[in-house]
Each structure stands twice: as structure tokens, then as C-alpha cells.
Chains A and B, each alone.
Chain A
Amino acid sequence: MIDPTVAAAQRGDEGAFAALYDAHATPIYALCLGLAGDRTAAAELVQDVFVRAWEKLATFRGESAFGTWLHRLAVNVALESVRRGQRRSLRVQIAADLRLDDGKDANTPFDAAAPSVEPGVAMDLERAIARLSAGMRAVFVLHDVEGYQHAEIGERLGIAEGTSKAHLFRARRLLREMLS
């Protein structure tokens, strides 16, 4: 059974679609901001997600909750965009992160493009996440924000399940350090 608001949006009711935005915008924005690491890019991603959702709304058959369907779509759109926006793919990035894990270079587990932060000043979580490398950010957001399991994260990012686990703990540790 399809939710009446979703059904109305499927019939082209703009008010119903706006209601769907209102209900889901915050977690979708968190996902996009987490993966993109930048507010402007995140806002563009949210637009892309909802435009794509509108285009594909007719294909939603109510087999899952609408929120689940929308989040799946959002993850696809966001990962696709993040990949497009990077010269190196996430997989390569993650491989580079792994080499860092071997201790060859302990100075760059962070995104070089992220805004610098004054030493000694505690960051908020948003800025701290933005400072993570794209690979670690993706694992952290998919697991801790979106609730994905490591097996699926590995599949989505093209990495081993163990790599996803190691990245998650490392990301959490770095975030704790930045926030403290």
C-alpha cells in the first residue's frame, strides 16, 4: 500500500511532493553533506536527489518504505556525483588510505581540499567530517549515518569488507581527535 502523500505526488501533486521534501530533507541533506564534505556541493546534491526522485516517482511501487527508497536513490546519486567530481575514484582513494594505514605517510588521512582549521580550536562534527579523506568519509557516512552494513559498503565502494571496518574505526578515531 502506497502512502497517500506519495501517491498524490505520483499523480503530479506539487504540494504532496513538497510535503515529501519536508519529511525527508534533513536526513538526505546529512547524507549529501557527509559524502560531499561541502555545503554548496551538498545543496546541489540534494537538488539532484529530489529531481531524480521526481523523475522516478512512478517506479516506486511501495515494496519498501518511501524513505528507504529515497535514501537508496540518494546514496546512488551522491556516490555517483562524488565519483564524477574526483579525478581519482573512491576505490583508488581508499587504496591510498590503506597505504597510509601501512604507515608510509601518516600526514594525509585528510582531504587536502578541506578548509584549514586553526590549531587548538575544536571543530564541529560537520567540519571534522569534511576534513576526512573522501574514502573514509564515505565509509563513515554510509555506516554511521545511513546504517549500511560493512558488506554492502564494501560492495558499493568496491572495497573489502575488512577495509570498510578498518576505515570506519579510523574515521571515528580521527573525528574524536578533531573534536576534542
Chain B
Amino acid sequence: MTIDCQVVARDLDAYRDGTLHAARCEELEAHAAQCDACLMQLERVTAGMLPVFAPTPPSTLRDDVLRAVAVRRRSRRLPRLARTAGALAAAALLFVMLRPTTAPPAPTVADSTIVAVPVSGASSASADEIARSEFRALDDAARELQAELTRTPGDAELTALLRRIDDQRASLRRQVQDARS
């Protein structure tokens, strides 16, 4: 059933007061949905009848949100750092394969401050380069992990990755020393 604009005009007050029968209310609303003039009338008589909807967020929500963002950020960074650690393991293997077979005595080597030493064999320079590059990459990865750990102290995954990098560094140092002894 449809109603016309005159009926709407007649029933507006009852609609506003909540005394109009539900079925008639729906007819009136359906008509107004198709008739701009009646829509404006309906808007006019019902304007401001509802309170503003402004609920307060729970007090714990802020921490939850910021924690969720931190977890998300970390979950995106961790795979990259883990891949770095994996790549370093592969590089270490390459270093072993390239190391000179008859290396002369070498000075003590310390992490990324490793210095080039005269070695015999065509591959010794390459081995040195690889070692330096590996130490630098390990240092970079460790710095990133430390920074991440500062944001999320005590994080088990980050701690494990850091330990893995320390192990890699120690292993690489041994290999370099072996190669030069």
C-alpha cells in the first residue's frame, strides 16, 4: 500500500510523538524514501531526537592496539632477520670452502675489524673479503635485533636470533683463526 504526501503531512506529528501505529510508520518511511520533500519533512521533525553516539573506548584498548601493532611490525621484520642469519650460515660455509690450504701465521682477528693478511693461494683474498662481509652483516643484524629487543624486552624469538648470531660470529672467528694458523 502506498500513501501520498498529504497523509505524510497529516501523520508527521503522531510519528514524531511515537503514537503512530508501527505499520503506518513503515508506510510513511517507505514513502519518504522515495519522496525528497517528505524525506525533508521527516528529517525535520525527527532531528536531534536521539542522543549522540559517542561511547568511550575501554581503558585497556590503547595498550592492546599498540602491542598488536608492535607484534605485527616485528612479525614482518623477524623473517628478514632470520633469513639474514640463514644467509650468514651459508656464507660461512663458502668461507670454509675458499680458505687457503696453506695459510701463513696471522694476527688475531676481531669481528668486523678483521684485517687483510698476506696469504698464499689465489682464493685467500676472496676468503678475507667474505669474512669481513660476514662480520659486517652479523653486526648489522645484531644491531637491528638489539633495537627490536629494546622495544619488546625479553622477547624469546629475538633473544634466540641474537644468540644464533653470536654463535655464527664465534664460529666464523674460529674458522678465520684456523685458516691462518
- Name A's B-contacting residues (CB within 8 A): 14, 17-18, 21-22, 25-27, 29-30, 33-34, 39, 43, 46-47, 50-51, 54-55, 101, 103, 106, 125-126, 129, 141, 144-145, 162-163, 165-166, 169-170, 172-173, 175-177, 179-180
In the complex, residue of chain A having the shortest beta-carbon distance to the beta carbon of B73 = A54
B10 on the interface (CB 8 Å rule)?
A: no
User: Do B25 and A173 touch (CB < 8 A)?
Assistant: yes
A-B contact pairs, 20 of them (CB 8 A): A18-B62, A18-B66, A21-B62, A25-B57, A29-B61, A43-B58, A43-B64, A47-B61, A47-B64, A50-B65, A50-B68, A51-B72, A101-B26, A103-B23, A106-B23, A165-B29, A169-B32, A170-B29, A172-B46, A179-B50
In the complex, residue of chain A having the shortest beta-carbon distance to the beta carbon of B58 = A43
**B 9-27 binary contact with A (CB < 8 Å = 1; else 0):** 0000001001000110110
CB distance from A132 to the nearest CB of B (A): 12
User: Do A169 and B46 touch (CB < 8 A)?
Assistant: yes
Q: Which of B51, B65, B68 contacts A125 (CB 8 A)?
A: B51
Q: Which of B18, B50, B151 contacts A144 (CB 8 A)?
A: B50
- Name B's A-contacting residues (CB within 8 A): 15, 18, 22-23, 25-26, 29-30, 32-34, 39, 42, 46, 49-51, 53-58, 61-62, 64-66, 68-70, 72-73, 151
In the complex, residue of chain B having the shortest beta-carbon distance to the beta carbon of A43 = B61
In the complex, residue of chain B having the shortest beta-carbon distance to the beta carbon of A12 = B73
- Please classify the interface of chain B as helix (H, G, I), strand (E, B), loop, or mixed, using the class held by over half of its residues: helix
Number of A-B contacts (CB under 8 A): 104
CB distance from B34 to the nearest CB of A (A): 5
CB distance from A47 to the nearest CB of B (A): 5
Q: A21-B62, A46-B57, A169-B29 are in contact. Are A54 and B69 (CB under 8 A)?
A: yes
User: Do A176 and B69 touch (CB < 8 A)?
Assistant: no
Q: 5 tightest CB-CB pairs across the interface, nearest first?
A: A165-B33, A166-B33, A29-B57, A169-B29, A162-B33
Report A-chain residues with C-beta under 8 Å of the C-beta of B54.
Answer: 26-27, 30
Q: Which of B32, B33, B70 has the most CB of A within 10 A?
A: B33
Q: How far is B24's CA from A103's CA once the two chains are assembled, in angstroms?
A: 11
CB distance from B36 to the nearest CB of A (A): 10
User: Do B39 and A25 touch (CB < 8 A)?
Assistant: no
User: Do A106 and B22 touch (CB < 8 A)?
Assistant: yes
User: Do B57 and A26 touch (CB < 8 A)?
Assistant: yes
Report A-chain residues with C-beta under 8 Å of the C-beta of B72.
Answer: 51, 54-55
In the complex, residue of chain B having the shortest beta-carbon distance to the beta carbon of A98 = B30
CB distance from A79 to the nearest CB of B (A): 17
Report B-chain residues with C-beta under 8 Å of the C-beta of A145.
Answer: 53
Q: A54-B72, A170-B29 are in contact. Are A25 and B61 (CB under 8 A)?
A: yes
User: Do A30 and B53 touch (CB < 8 A)?
Assistant: yes
CB distance from B18 to the nearest CB of A (A): 6
Q: How far is B32's CA from A173's CA once the two chains are assembled, in angstroms?
A: 14
Q: Which of A34, A43, A144, A169 has the most CB of B within 10 A?
A: A169
